Amino acid sequence: MYGKFGNFPLDNQDHLRMALSGIYEGLLHNDLPVRVESALALNNLLYHDLAVEFVRPGLESLLKTYLKIMDDIDFDELVKSLQNIVDVYSQEIAPYAVGLCMKLGEAFIRLINVKGSGENED
């Protein structure tokens, strides 16, 4: 639900904190679909100032989690979510930029190799 409607106004800050805590737990879940949906839901909640502040202290581990999920599955929506995180935390992202670029480059090369192993695709 938060993945679809998380950008709607939420007046109850305690509810938002509980939702964010649950989503963080989902990011660490054993099942890949739960991690993916949690990553997408968190992205939609970043429209709320409380969510931005909630995530800020764990930004490094959040980035690692997104990159790990992206290693497990190539999904355009995850890339868009990661792009939104970089936009929201543009001032704090500098220490992680090199590692982030390296991982995204690896994902791009992996995607090219998968596409290149198919039939004569451009």
pLDDT digits (tens, 9 = 90+) for 28-57: 999 999 999 999 999 888 888 888 999 999
Query: What confidence score (pLDDT) does residue 2 get?
Result: 67
Query: What confidence score (pLDDT) does residue 118 get?
Result: 58
Alpha-carbon gap, residue 51 to 16, rounded angstroms: 8
Q: Which residues of the chain have pLDDT under 50?
A: 122
Domain boundaries, the chain: 2-116
pTM: 0.77
